[in-house]
Structure 1
C-alpha cells in the first residue's frame, strides 16, 4: 500500500483509503449478488419467468426510490446512509440464505427481498456519489474515480466468477451467506471514515426535492447529457443486451462463445482505460467524454454489417475504453460543478433520467427483432447512437465544459 500511496496521491488521504477498501469489498460482493440470487431463484423454480419477476422487482424499486435516496443522502451523514444500506443488504442476503436452507423460500419471498435490495441501492448510490468530494482534494477527483472504476471493472470479471464457483462448490445458500458477510465487512471498514456532521436541514423533503430539481435544470450541460443518455441507454440495452445474443446464437461466425469473448473485450477496454486515466488528465470533460462514448456505435454497426468474433472483439474493446472516458469525465464534472450540499439529489435525478427508459428499450428491441430484419435494425441503432452522442456536442455548454482552473488548450495531459 505504501508504494501505491507514492504512485497515487489520492491514496495518501486516510479517509479515502478506508472508503476505497470498503467499496472494493462491497463491489466484489455486489458483482457476486446477481449470480447467487439467480441460482437461488432457479433452485426454487427452474423458470426464466420467475427469475425475471425477481429482477424486475429489484430494478423497479430502485427507480422508484432514487429521488428519495438523493434527498436522504443530502440530509443525513452520507457515510451513515451507506453503512445502513450495506447492513440492510447483508440482512437480505443472510435471510435468503436461511430461507433456502430451511426450505421455506418462495418466488414471492425472493421477490420481496429483491425489492428491498433494489431500494437499498437507490439510497447508497447517491450517497456514494456525494461522499467522494468530501474525502479527496479537488485535483485528485479524477484519480479517485479512475481508481474506483478500476476496481469496479475488475470486479465485473472476478465477482461473477467467485459467485459461480461458490454456487457450484457449496450451493447457493452458503454462497449467499458469503455475499452477505462481504457487506458486513464493507460496513465495518466504512466506520473508519471520519467526517464532520452535515449541517442540520430545516426544510422539508419536498422542498429539497424541488431544490435538487432547480439545480438540475439550471445547468444546460447536465440535463442535455441526461436526456441524451435516456435514449442512449435504451438503445444500448435493447440492441446490445437483447438483440446481440440473438445474433450471436444464430451466426456461425460469432456463436455464444464468441459473444462471451466480445462482451469480455468490452470490459477489458474499460479496465485498461481506467488504468490510463489514473495518469492522464481529462481537460475538456464532455467533449472527450461524449466523443468517447460515441465509439459504442462501432460494435453496434458491426453487429448488423459483419458479426464476426475477432472484428467485434476489437470494436468492443475500443467502445469499452471510450465508455470509461465518458464515465470518468462525467463523474468529475458532477463532483466539480455541483455544490456538495445538493450533489446526492442532483445525482439521483441524473440516475433516474438515465435509467428510466432502459426497460422500454429492452421491450421495444425485443419486439422489433421479432418483426423486422435484424441487420437494418442494428445498423439503424448504431447510426442513431452515434448521432445522439455526437449531437450533444452541438450544445456550447456541453462541448465547452472544462476542468475547473484549467486553461482551454489541449484535451488530455499526463499528470505528474
Structure 2
C-alpha cells in the first residue's frame, strides 16, 4: 500500500508541520536538562520526542518511529488528529475550565454517550476524573461506602500509583516503599474460581476489582469463563464487581469495552481513562443502576479538573471518530491479522500472542523482551516490555495492516539481535 493510500484510511492524520520543541538543541542537551529539572521517577527518557503525525513520531534529532505503543494505549487516534485538534480549539474559544460548582454541555453529553455505549440501565451515572488512578480511587471509595470491610483484587493486578489504587495493585515492589497502604484489601489468584467462591462466602466483601485483560502483567486475559464466574458469584453475594477498563476500554480490543465481548456481562462499576481522551487527560467512573449511583453523596468525593470542558470535548471527538469511521471493526480486523502474521513467522523464540484487538502481548521463550524493545527502538519501532518475556503492542487504533507489516517483517532480526546482545 502506498503512503498516499494510507493517508486515505480512517483517521489518518494530515502531514504535520516540520518543527520541534527545543529546535537547535540536540537530544543530549535536552536529556541533561531533563535530569536536572524533573524528579527521577521515570528514569532517563529513551528519546525526547518533538512531534507526531498519525501513527508516527519524530525525536529532536529528526529520527522517525512507528508508534506501536500509543502512549501506552492512550493515543487512540494517533498524533495530531484533526478531530481532536478541532474539538479542543473550538472548545477553548468558549470555556476551558469552570470548576464543579457548575456544569457544561460537553460534560453532560460525554456522560450520556458513555452510559449509552456501556448499555447502562436507568439510574446509572458517571464521575469524571483526570486519570486511571483517580478513577480507581473513586471506585475504591464507592466500595467503601457499602459498609463491608473487605475488598478483593487479583494477583498480577495493576490499578494505579496513588495510595488507594496502589492498595489494589498486587506487585510487591510497587507497594512496599509506601506501606502502610489503605487496609482491607486481599489478593486472590487470578483465574481460580474456587478461591473466589471461598473468599466471597462470608458475605462481607464490598467489591472485587478486576481487569478483563491484565495489561501491565503482560497482556494476560482473564478469560470469559472466569469473568462470567466473577459476575455470577459477586451477584450471588451482593458484592460489587468493579471492572478496570482503563487500558482495555474505548475500542482498544475492538469493542467499546473489553467485557462486552462476553454476552450479558455487565459490571456494577467500570473505570476508564487512557484512550477516552485520545491523549488529553481524562478518566471516568461509570456506576450501573440506582443502587450504586447513590453510594457517593455530595461532599464525599470530588476533583477540581475532572469533567472540564476541554477534556469532555476531547472525549466526544474520540467517540465521534470511532463511530463515524468504523474503527472498532478496523481494530478487530488488523488486530487479528497482525496476531496471525506474528505466529506465522514460526520463530522459535515466539511462544504465543495474547490479548484482543490492538492490545497484544507477544510471548517470548526467553527473558529478552527488554532487549528486543531496545533493538526495536533503534530500528524505528516504539513498543515496550511489561515483563521479561512479553512484548506489548498498543498502537493507535488508526494503524493499518501495512504499518504493522513493517514491524512483523523486522521482528525476526530484532529477536536475533536481542539474543546476540544477551550472549555478549
* TM-score, scaled to structure 2: 0.25
Structure with greater helix percent: 1
* TM-score, scaled to structure 1: 0.26
Structure with greater strand percent: 2
- Relative CO higher for 1 or 2, CA cutoff 8 Å, sep ≥ 6? 1
